[in-house]
A and B are shown apart, each in its own frame.
Chain A
């Protein structure tokens, strides 16, 4: 397979950031109340991810290793600010719905994670494709969770009535508890059909790997003897 297409396949299927790597749980849980929100969040994160991979990959020989994390954070934060302003201007509805979760893309583990794991050691073209693949994978997972919650919780999908009107929708699914339940269901299904996710590691050994900066912190943590 062409190595550029391989990156796409990797991001969407093999290392799907949400379903397999279990990264970026906060936005996944928070904005998946409707399928449309999933797409809005997914697309804006994808835009940031592609650009941040592009910039970080282009600067990978310039940024000194010791200060790379602060440098990445500044790059990502600038890109998020640009995205936020663009959304405010052109898609005010989506901007209103997603609210505080747009600036919080900065702390989305997927972005720093990809910068650290891929973009800082690979050429620009591949890094951009990696960002695109991961972004699409994230968008699909978010939209899937959003659609499922919307169908169960409001009886609609993308705003169109799906369940017959006589069926009372289970409102709990569009409320916060529903987010936890749906994601629990997704992971349980993946476990049942034998797809290895990172969840076991995530839940059992602390938050290591959940994002670059976080895992750096965890490395320090492990040096301290258990009391």
Chain B
């Protein structure tokens, strides 16, 4: 039990996917302009990464590894993630329009989010079991959401400030991310 809690805390806070591992920077910088969009994207990422980790674990441990095909994992994972996102989108559209309206438009974006592939590969590297993989996926998604929502909050404040011209746009956003990253380094002391 303790190790499972440790996985969630570790992936969400200590090794935060964006601020520490630098995965999913593209959407982190791109979408964080609006708070609402950030929260929706975060929700979609949690959803997809959790499912993708489960599917990737099953595929790797039940299909690839037994047949000695583990070198194929990169190709298989990226295709499975792309297909999975499509299926999830179709399923939600049909079965749960409310969730689809909240997350739908962000789902295709996630296919190329390196965080999803990154988590699947890290799970293999760490030799996690099924439950551990799913929790690591969930924790990573929560970490991503936390980071992007916080950045969106900071950016709505920055927008109202007068800045030196060269810092406008990307530099100030990256500096904000750097400060957030410093703050998140504090979580490294959380290991219990």
Contact = CB atoms under 8 A, between A and B. Distances in A.
B78 A100 contact: no
A30 B22 contact: yes
B190 to A, nearest CB: 16
* Majority secondary structure of chain B interface residues (helix, strand, loop or mixed): helix
A144 to B, nearest CB: 16
B182 A73 contact: no
Nearest to B182: A177
Interface residues of A, number: 59
Contact of A104 (B33, B71, B108, B118): B118
A10 interface: no
Contacts, number: 158
Interface in A204-224: 204, 206-208, 210-211, 213-214, 216-218, 220-221, 224
Interface stretch (B3-11, B53-61, B132-140, B163-171): B163-171
Given A177-B179, A200-B169, A221-B105, A30 B21 contact: yes
A103 B109 contact: no
B82 A70 contact: yes
Say whether chain A's binding surface is mostly helix, strand, loop, or mixed. helix
Contact of B22 (A22, A179, A221): A179
A77 B75 contact: yes
A104 B175 contact: no
Given A84-B74, A103-B121, A107-B114, A70 B79 contact: yes
Contacts of B105: 220-221, 224
A177 B178 contact: yes
Contacts of A70: 79, 82
Contacts of B166: 188-189, 191-192
Interface residues of B, number: 52
A183 to B, nearest CB: 6
Contact of B29 (A172, A181, A185, A202): A202
B44 to A, nearest CB: 12
A203 B22 contact: no
A220 B108 contact: yes
A184 to B, nearest CB: 4
A189 B102 CA distance: 39
Interface of B: 19-27, 29-31, 33, 36, 71-75, 78-79, 82, 105-106, 108-109, 111-114, 117-118, 121-122, 125, 165-175, 177-179, 181-182, 185
13 contacts: A26-B26, A81-B74, A100-B118, A103-B73, A107-B113, A109-B112, A192-B165, A200-B170, A203-B170, A207-B29, A208-B30, A216-B108, A224-B105
Given A192-B165, A211-B26, A220-B108, 11 more contacts: A22-B170, A100-B125, A176-B185, A180-B178, A180-B181, A185-B171, A188-B171, A191-B167, A203-B33, A207-B26, A224-B105
